[in-house]
Amino acid sequence: MKEINITTSFTIFDNLKELPEEIQDLMNQAVDIRKKAYAPYSKFRVGTALLLDNGKIVLGSNQENAAYPSGLCAERVAIFHAGSVYPEAKIVKMAITAASDTNPTTAPIPPCGSCRQSIAEYEIKQDTPIEIYFMGEIGEVYKSSSLKNLLPLMFDKKFL
């Protein structure tokens, strides 16, 4: 029997104001789009802003559906939109924020498993890491230098 240890690391900012100005702007756009999420069932709103290497910013918010699981998370809305409108562009940075209509979210909320897999697909496709910043409604912001940091044992095309 063998054992492996996998280590990940994050940079933690105490609040939005500690972020570099470019990332503050990106996160503020994620906050704005989060407020427009369609979340009548979960009451949990998520907003995402992507910075592409062509300078464009692509936004996404979660879109729920009574015929669960037909809805889509904010991260995938933004990623798939970027992939369809700017197929040659690379995703450089991603800002994610989440808030509940029923209780405050003060802890950083990372992407769900399905979103991690979707982000992984694009990180592998573009062969460059995507910086990911995530937060709750208020409080600390976590920075991951890449998706691989959040999902170290990624499933990708090499397994197919």
12 bridge partner residues:
142
Q: For residue range 72-112, list pLDDT tens digits in order.
A: 999 999 999 999 999 999 999 999 999 999 999 999 999 99
Can you give the residue ranges of every domain in the chain?
20-150
**Is 66 annotated in some ligand binding site?**
yes
pTM of the model: 0.95
Active site residue 140: no
Q: Is it the case that residue 156 has pLDDT exceeding 90?
A: no
**Is 37 annotated in some ligand binding site?**
no
> Whose CA is closest to 75, among 35, 30, 43?
30
Q: Give 20-150's CATH code, choosing from 3.40.50.2000, 3.40.140.10, 3.30.1330.20, 3.30.1330.60.
A: 3.40.140.10
Q: What pLDDT shows up at residue 157?
A: 81
Q: Is it the case that residue 51 has pLDDT exceeding 90?
A: yes
Say which of 3, 18, 22, 75 is annotated catalytic: 75
What Rg do the C-alpha atoms of the chain give, in angstroms? 16
Per the CB < 8 A criterion, the answer to whether 16 and 24 are in contact is yes
**Is 29 annotated in some ligand binding site?**
no
124-128 CB contacts, 8 Å cutoff, 24+ apart: 124/154, 124/156, 124/157, 126/90, 126/91, 128/90, 128/92
The 10 Å CB-count burial string (b at 16+, else e) for 127-156 is eebbbbbbbbbeebbbbbebbbbbbeebee
Q: What pLDDT shows up at residue 70?
A: 86
DSSP state of 75: H
**Is 98 annotated in some ligand binding site?**
no
